[in-house]
Structure 1
Amino acid sequence: MSIWTWATPSIASTVLANSLSSPTTVTITVDANEEKQIVDGFGFSEAFGRAENVFGSAGLSPANQQRLLDLMYDENIGAGFTILRNGIGSANLSDPSDMISIELTDPGLPSSKPTYTPNNNTGQLPLAKAAYARGLKTLYADAWSAPWFMKTNLNDNDGGYLCGVEDTDCPTGSWIQAYVNYLLEYVKLYKEAGVTVTNVGFLNEPQLNTSYASMQSNGTQAAEVIRVLGRTIREQGLDLEINCCDAVGWEDAEQMLPGLQAGPDPAINYLSVYTGHGYASPPNFTLSTHLRTWLTEWADLTGDYVPYVFFNNSGPGEGMTWANNIQVAFNAANVSAFLYWEGAENATASSSLINLINNEIVLSKRYWVFAQFSKFVRPGARRVVASSSASDVFVTSFKNSNGVIATQVLNNGTSTTTIDLEINGSWGWGNREAMMYITDNEFDFKQEPVYMGSDGLYHGTIPARSLVSFITQ
């Protein structure tokens, strides 16, 4: 089992260098003056009852509950995740695997007065409180479906459409405004409970018809809802960003854009963030929008249990696979945020970063990979241009608002590599010493010193098949 520790700087990197003859030297060049997209953060969801797992529903002790929360959200103790994606409930059942609606009864007509019932949102409300107490910056509340009585199929599961959007004809009429009111009531109930929702969404994977909470939509239909949602937020004077549309793949997200950009009152103008998932197609190109883009869900759903493997055979749950995914998303797709599907759950699966097994916390290599980004690349940072002289050594680099540079170097090669790190920019160092943190099959976040040579470059030696973060002090 992995244990979170801060190692005392040692000469392990020198030992690694001496254990192999003539390691390859790769030059990494960072231009700190050439800034790209802003970073909003890293995170995950605890929807569908997983938040209850965090609070001991499957046997986690009170002490380990607090430890787990620290590992997830505390910047100093743990990974410092800054985005939590909540599921807005639509079910009227008490099954913990469902997300319970705040509107449990059908009012009959869209114009009828609704009855709202506050609830803990299947553990997600107390989780949001605990996360904010540890440094959370963004709470994204997203609905997988509208309540059953608002939909064409009269079921919050099995797809169906929101009554009132294009190509729907429901006997009760249009429920668009009622659905908007429902979403904003969720936000208000959270605020009354002392929790701020910063971003709201109303769709999840609208291309799919699934046996769990789901609702379908195309871009034109989504635009109808966005306009009403945006106008209502403005009328009510709410400080709230709208996200859309959590498409099942990056190409699906691109295909929805024309519907959002069309017409005399383009719906895209009401949005703050455009979102997509990585399942059907990965985030490996920039979407055709001026908006910030977030990768809001992606995971290994094959069920393979690989908590301790950084690299074996490039499997979908391995740490190195996710290091590659994150780097491509930021470099090629210019995303501003990257969210795994689940943070922690009581299961032996790769769909989460952390496995909870009775009272045991098992940290996967995926968790350590995300930590090397989320801990050092804080909200408000900017990606800066970085390049590598080797085709099998990938690099991303970020400049935080306090001037600290975080450069992640992924050695996909099969041999130990010496890195010459050159950082260009007029912002200044302040200290000639830096640190590097190594995650591979052997190490979890292994801390090592890095020193600037007389040539003005930072020098470090990194193992084969490893992710290393170089951090200026």
Structure 2
Amino acid sequence: MRLLLYILCCFLLINMSCSKKQEQLIVEVYETSASGNKLTKITDFSPEKVKDSIKILSDKKLQTITGFGGAFTESSAYLLNKLSKENRDKILKAYFSKDGANYSLTRTHMNSCDFSLNQYSYSPVEDDLMLEHFTIEDDMDDLIPMIKDAMSASEDGFKIFASPWTAAPWMKDNNDWVGGKLLPKYYDTWALFFSKYVDAYEAENIPIWGFTVENEPHGNGNNWESMHFTPEEMTDFVQNHLGPKLEADGKGDKIILGYDQNREGLKEWVDVMYATEESSKYYDGTAIHWYESTYDFFPEALQYAHNKAPNKYLIETEGCVDSEVPKWKDDIWYWSKEATDWGWDWAPEHQKHLHPKYAPVNRYARDIIGCLNNWVDGWVDWNMVLDRQGGPNWFKNWCVAPVIVDPDADEVYFTPLYYTMAHFSKYIRPGAEVLDVENSDEDIMVTAAKNPDGSIAVVIFNEGKQTKDFNLSLNEKAINVQIKGQAIQTIIIPTNTK
């Protein structure tokens, strides 16, 4: 009898153990693919020959997410005003509502940029040291209405940071919109400019979260609005002028991000920005762009920047498919390695290998996942809306946006880039903690984050053309999942999963 009871107990223990190991992970799967899925909920897949695994290490928490989003530009705002109210609302809801991409972090420009209709400054009067004639009148017709309508469409709200491309020519050593440097005698006036901007926008009920000090301080090849700083000059301006001025004016809570250009130059800049306690006092973080390469996200540079200032922001503030006229209602182009960028024609010979033809979707998915896996906490796209030419742009610097419109025909095209961005912005929310992941398949990219509500979002990118089957596990639960070739998936693990 005792032997029988012993055998029965062993059987029950083994059975319980097996059941525990086989307990299924409950998930929701959303996929965008070259084959036609667009954030489509996937419920029917039958993985075969599962040999690879993705393991979420829930106890290994990394950076906290600030947000994802795009930029408010005068060009985008102007185009929205040329559409019917129905299509204008459709686009803003697609970007900012909970049912849409639910953008949480956004950028805008101070003064004009290349994606403006013309060149203008909020300080139009020369030698106006106290900026008594400061005005945001040029933003009132298009830019400010777009931001306000986006705020109305957003239930969760979003952060806005602003970036200047240049000061007015009268403040610069070359007296020009393009290139040149801010004259030291105007450092205090330029710091006041930032403070005045906060007051002017907040008078319009638009709160400003922070700033980047200067868009692309190395310049842009002397093509459109720009103003040059060295790391030492920018740090002098922030440490001795901008930071103290915002603090004195009761705006010390406004975020200041330094640098704001390509990742290859990160080491030089963070070494100066964070050299001492005094130099780093007013810097809240570092801003970066992606134009150094069409495929390399420079993980070593990102790791270096994080390690130099581990408690400060590291945010991708601009990226787009540049030097291309967007393809109209041609989804497959965005999945094909046919696009080029500025470097295809203009990069020096020793850097040409960084600028091959590439697929736009691949570039977005690869870069965002690569950034999240290397301490970046926010990722902001460039223009939200452009026309079929890739403008308007006063310099004819044509680029691609996730949403393309034909204002004359009142038509809207949501490109695959829109859905790619939404895989992150919609499902990884501000305050989420990035989690470490073990991935046995080097041909796919994976990142994961735990949201404030306890849910976990896992984003998987399969650049190759072969379907991939894998086992996804969290703690003691697992599920076999399948992702198509040329596809992005966001897998949501609900809050109640232990």
Shorter-chain TM-score bucket reads 0.7 to 0.9
Which amino acid in structure 1 is aligned with residue 337 of structure 2? Answer: N
Structure 2 CA distance for aligned equivalents of residues 4 and 192 of structure 1: 43
Residue aligning to 1:347:
388
Shift of 1:368: 0.8
Structure 1 CA distance for aligned equivalents of residues 372 and 150 of structure 2: 25
Corresponding position: 1:460 with 2:481: yes
Residue aligning to 1:436:
none
After superposition, the Cα gap between the structure-2 partners of 1:260 and 1:7, relative to the gap in structure 1 and judged at 3 Å, is: closer
Residue aligning to 2:134:
116
Counterparts of 1:172-211 in structure 2, within 5 Å, are 174-208=185-219, 209-211=221-223
Shift of 1:118: 3.3
Tell me which of 86, 89, 101 is aligned to 1:66: 89
Tell me which of 249, 254, 257 is aligned to 1:236: 249
Structure 1 CA distance for aligned equivalents of residues 36 and 210 of structure 2: 33
Residue aligning to 2:174:
153
Q: Which range is displaced more, 44-53 or 289-298?
A: 44-53
Tell me which of 130, 140, 148 is aligned to 1:129: 148
Structure 2 CA distance for aligned equivalents of residues 261 and 416 of structure 1: 45
Corresponding position: 1:311 with 2:331: no
TM-score (norm 1): 0.81
Contact (CA 8 Å) 1:144, 1:204: kept in 2 or not?
yes
Residue aligning to 1:80:
102
Structure 1 CA distance for aligned equivalents of residues 275 and 314 of structure 2: 19
After superposition, the Cα gap between the structure-2 partners of 1:88 and 1:64, relative to the gap in structure 1 and judged at 3 Å, is: same
After superposition, the Cα gap between the structure-2 partners of 1:161 and 1:37, relative to the gap in structure 1 and judged at 3 Å, is: same
Tell me which of 299, 311, 314 is aligned to 1:284: 299
Structure 1 CA distance for aligned equivalents of residues 166 and 470 of structure 2: 49
After superposition, the Cα gap between the structure-2 partners of 1:109 and 1:320, relative to the gap in structure 1 and judged at 3 Å, is: closer
Based on CA coordinates, which of the two structures has the bigger radius of gyration? 2
Structure 1 CA distance for aligned equivalents of residues 131 and 376 of structure 2: 41
TM-score (norm 2): 0.78
CA deviation profile, 1:58-96 (whole Å, cap 9, x unmatched): xx11110000000111122x11111221100158x9x95
Contact (CA 8 Å) 2:131, 2:193: kept in 1 or not?
no
RMSD of aligned C-alpha atoms?
A: 2.6
CA deviation profile, 1:91-143 (whole Å, cap 9, x unmatched): 8x9x952363222211x263x55312232526222222122221432101111
Residue aligning to 2:59:
33
CA deviation profile, 1:39-73 (whole Å, cap 9, x unmatched): 111112132422211222xxx11110000000111
Which amino acid in structure 2 is aligned with residue 193 of structure 1? Answer: E
CA deviation profile, 1:179-217 (whole Å, cap 9, x unmatched): 111111111111111110001223011111423211001
Corresponding position: 1:406 with 2:454: no
Higher helix share: 2
Shift of 1:351: 2.3
After superposition, the Cα gap between the structure-2 partners of 1:330 and 1:10, relative to the gap in structure 1 and judged at 3 Å, is: closer
Task: Structure 1: state its 5+ residue gaps.
Answer: 165-173, 425-454
Q: Which range is displaced more, 406-415 or 363-372?
A: 406-415
Shift of 1:328: 0.9
Task: Structure 2: state its 5+ residue gaps.
Answer: 1-34, 339-356, 391-398
Structure 1 CA distance for aligned equivalents of residues 412 and 60 of structure 2: 41
Tell me which of 326, 329, 343 is aligned to 2:368: 326
Structure 1 CA distance for aligned equivalents of residues 105 and 131 of structure 2: 34
Which amino acid in structure 1 is aligned with residue 450 of structure 2? Answer: K
SS of 2:485 mapped into structure 1: coil
SS of 2:121 mapped into structure 1: coil
Contact (CA 8 Å) 1:128, 1:139: kept in 2 or not?
no
CA deviation profile, 1:361-399 (whole Å, cap 9, x unmatched): 111111111101110000111110012111102110000
Q: Higher relative CO (CA 8 A, sep ≥ 6), structure 1 or 2?
A: 2
Q: Which range is displaced more, 129-138 or 460-469?
A: 129-138
Shift of 1:221: 0.3
SS of 2:215 mapped into structure 1: coil
Structure 1 CA distance for aligned equivalents of residues 112 and 420 of structure 2: 33
Residue aligning to 1:167:
none
Counterparts of 1:88-107 in structure 2, within 5 Å, are 88-89=110-111, 97-98=117-118, 100-106=120-126
> % of aligned pairs identical?
20
Aligned length in residues: 415
Contact (CA 8 Å) 2:218, 2:229: kept in 1 or not?
yes
Contact (CA 8 Å) 1:48, 1:99: kept in 2 or not?
no
Contact (CA 8 Å) 2:110, 2:163: kept in 1 or not?
yes
Structure 1 CA distance for aligned equivalents of residues 402 and 232 of structure 2: 35
Structure 1 CA distance for aligned equivalents of residues 37 and 89 of structure 2: 14
CA deviation profile, 1:220-254 (whole Å, cap 9, x unmatched): 0001211211111111212311122212x102232
Contact (CA 8 Å) 1:37, 1:383: kept in 2 or not?
yes
SS of 2:195 mapped into structure 1: helix
After superposition, the Cα gap between the structure-2 partners of 1:253 and 1:296, relative to the gap in structure 1 and judged at 3 Å, is: same
Structure 1 CA distance for aligned equivalents of residues 119 and 474 of structure 2: 48
Corresponding position: 1:338 with 2:379: yes
Shift of 1:7: 5.7
Shift of 1:9: 6.0
Shift of 1:31: 1.0
After superposition, the Cα gap between the structure-2 partners of 1:304 and 1:394, relative to the gap in structure 1 and judged at 3 Å, is: same
Shift of 1:305: 3.1
CA deviation profile, 1:5-40 (whole Å, cap 9, x unmatched): 8867643x24xx5xxxx4554211001121101111
SS of 2:413 mapped into structure 1: strand
Structure 2 CA distance for aligned equivalents of residues 3 and 136 of structure 1: 31
Structure 2 CA distance for aligned equivalents of residues 7 and 216 of structure 1: 45
Structure 2 CA distance for aligned equivalents of residues 264 and 183 of structure 1: 23
Contact (CA 8 Å) 1:304, 1:317: kept in 2 or not?
no
Contact (CA 8 Å) 1:300, 1:317: kept in 2 or not?
no
